[in-house]
Homo-oligomer: A and B are copies of this chain.
């Protein structure tokens, strides 16, 4: 099994380093006959793109996706969809200075130890640039799901210590202010992204080792800087009693069954129950900060590091489409697999 492949039937396999010629991937398992809107794929990429706001990195990547295969006269053919995104505006010089330094809390040290060689330019394969591939695949996944009316939404619910629940009205203003202040300090911020999927079909997710929440957790913890995942009442719910946390079934006036609460976050026993899917992802602050840091180089000497280059003071605005893409990939995969549940 490839370590660069995600999915059970709908499989995304990717390649590419931050400062190589291009990144790209192959999405296999897409059924034939889906009218694919390429402008939506490009649109999703544009949302992820840096350089669009003072809140994100100033780097201007022109993320133009090229699709090579798997389409004929606008429709999917059932064949693998190969694509790539060229790496432009690559300033490798910014990284020359770093070739001998292990940046704190980056993967420089672990890659070097594991592989004995590393592409130090822009972080190489460890760079979040890889996630542009995921956004392409996620956008196709959404179009596979189009028949279903499900709707994936993501929002930032915490930035640094600032919680939306505490400032529901002014959150966006306060958040922007906090990010800009932190940028000026040369520092960075973490936070929490909340994802909600409405109009969920019942039956997505596969017990025992391919449960919906387990696969989502894996998907989310694959995202650079992600450090936590919880679903439904999650970590907070650990404090509740069973009688408080159980979602009581009730019969609606329309005769359908639903639950009075959704502490389960839309999943029971690894399978979606038709309620909204609700989960959260915790991100650490980006490791690249402009403040001086003490560290070690490859010769085991203590050195002082001052990162330059164009870095995001907070990854959350750009992580929103990534969380959405990975959610779409997970759901589309389970949507296909579910067709095989019953004889």
Contact = CB atoms under 8 A, between A and B. Distances in A.
A25 B34 CA distance: 23
| Chain A interface main SS type | mixed
Interface stretch (A39-47, A50-58, A165-173, A214-222): A214-222
A107 B270 contact: yes
Contacts of A5: 2, 5, 11, 13, 28, 209
B110 A343 contact: no
Contacts of A147: 343
A227 B222 contact: no
A133 to B, nearest CB: 9
Nearest to A111: B269
A216 B221 CA distance: 9
A234 interface: yes
Contacts of A49: none
Given A217-B217, A270-B107, A68 B84 contact: yes
A33 B125 CA distance: 16
A69 B133 CA distance: 14
A91 interface: no
Contact of A207 (B126, B230, B257): B126
Which range holds the interface residue count of chain A?
A: 35 or more
Given A16-B68, A222-B214, A293-B248, A114 B238 contact: no
A207 B130 CA distance: 11
Contact of A110 (B68, B76, B161, B203): B203
Nearest to A314: B242
Contacts of A29: 2-3, 340
B13 A13 contact: yes
A289 to B, nearest CB: 4
A340 B221 contact: no
Interface in A123-149: 124-126, 130, 144, 147
Given A3-B207, A84-B68, A110-B271, A229 B228 contact: yes
B115 A32 contact: yes
A111 to B, nearest CB: 6
A291 B243 contact: yes
A220 B251 CA distance: 33
A97 interface: no
A153 B31 CA distance: 32
A277 to B, nearest CB: 13
Contact of A116 (B33, B206, B263): B33
A115 B3 CA distance: 26
